[in-house]
Amino acid sequence: MTSNQPAKIRFPDNEDEEDDAPENSNVDEIMCDLEETANTPPVEDSFPEGDDKTSADYYFDSYSHFGIHEEMLKDVVRTKTYQNVIYQNKFLFKDKVVLDVGAGTGILSLFCAKAGAKHVYAIECSHMADMAKEIVETNGFSNAITVLKGKVEEIDLPVAKVDIIISEWMGYFLLFENMLNTVLYARDKWLNNDGLVLPDKASLYLTAIEDAEYKDDKIEFWNSVYGFDMSCIKKQAIMEPLVDTVDQNQIVTNSQLLKTMDISKMTPGDASFTAPFKLVAERDDYIHALVAYFDVSFTKCHKLTGFSTGISVFLRSSSRPRSRATHWKQTVLYLEDVITICEGETIVGSMTVAPNKKNPRDVDIKLKYSFNGRRCSVSRVQFYKMR
């Protein structure tokens, strides 16, 4: 899963690309074109039927648009892992009833049906469910897959129990969008006692990075904008975690496991937690931000399988990452202080994570950290909101 309202994303590869919006000087030309075509039939006549969605539909439900599904399907780390889990563990699926929670295009349901599942129920609340139905038919799986359009929390399932629940529910920072609750709801309502949840483990990690350049550009920028103090915006900017790809060379400390969740056993309350951390510097450097990432695993497979959204390792001989990046990238939390750290020194603290009270799809993060090093000392509490 990905986010419909990403927190904040930078696209370093496109920074130099020119804006391709029409220049003002072209406006006259465009107006002339419109006048010339004024007598031609109304544009609606030439649109195929069924494509009657407007931007308002997508604003509230971006999963109805194919673009977000294209991004997820093309994330091969994500999609191939699910495919491998299903195709290489056919013994798990043979003659089993499967529930696909948040089916999107139906890709996971198709994998399961192909692997020999007795029947797959694919629940999808967005309009993509209509496409999923068509895709299932086109590919000849109508007997094996039933697509149900609606919310998991509101749908009537034609069977009382299922053997397997499969879902790709992970959001940025693992918990953004809070679809995990939907999976837990489905588990408690429909999963057999000896049933499986796939994936069944998810872990969140924390590390620390040097990131002077980008912190300057995105945070310190507000200190003086064309000579004016706009630092009130800086306070907001620093509260927004940044979803971005971090370069391996930026990492200054070890990684710390914050929390492992067992999706087959946990309660919704377990997604709110406080976890201590201790980050030890592996070299002398400056620290500008902490970075969170997650991994998921399928421990009930013949061989432990999973994937990580951790920082890709770059080969010295090329700029291509050895372990591929995912569309979740990493989540960067900028620190108010710059920490001057020496090799072996430690930053200790805790991270508190909880769904926002007003909108449970958003995540509130509280970060407490203290550092007492040879070159500097800091102790602070910072709040972040993933929106």
Residues annotated as catalytic (active site), given as ranges: 168, 177
Which is closer to ligand SAH, CB of 179 or CB of 209? 179
Residue nearest to ligand SAH (CB): 102
Residue 97 CA, distance from chain mean position:
28
Closest contact distance (angstroms) between CB of 39 and ligand SAH is: 42
Beta strands in 217-362 (DSSP E): 242-244, 256-262, 273-280, 285-298, 305-308, 330-341, 346-355
> Using CA atoms, how far apart are residues 151 and 103, in angstroms rounded to an integer?
11
Of residues 234 and 327, the one with the C-beta less far from ligand SAH? 327
Query: Which one, 169 or 277, has the nearer CB to ligand SAH?
Result: 169
State the Cα–Cα distance between residues 220 and 188, nearest whole angstrom.
47
Report, in Å, the least distance between residue 68 CB and ligand SAH. 8
Those residues whose C-beta lies under 8 Å from the C-beta of residue 89, and which sit 6 or more positions away, are 115, 301, 302
Least spacing, CB of residue 69 vs ligand SAH, in Å = 6
Q: Smaller CB distance to ligand SAH: residue 153 or 213?
A: 153
Residues 6 or more apart whose Cβ sits within 8 Å of residue 316: none
DSSP letter (8 states) at residue 24: G
Report in angstroms how near the CB of residue 321 gets to ligand SAH at its nearest.
22
Residues that bind ligand SAH (CB under 6 A): 1, 63, 69, 72-73, 102-105, 107-108, 123-126, 128, 151-153, 168, 179, 182
Structure tokens at 339: 């920490």
Give strand pairing partners of 146: 121
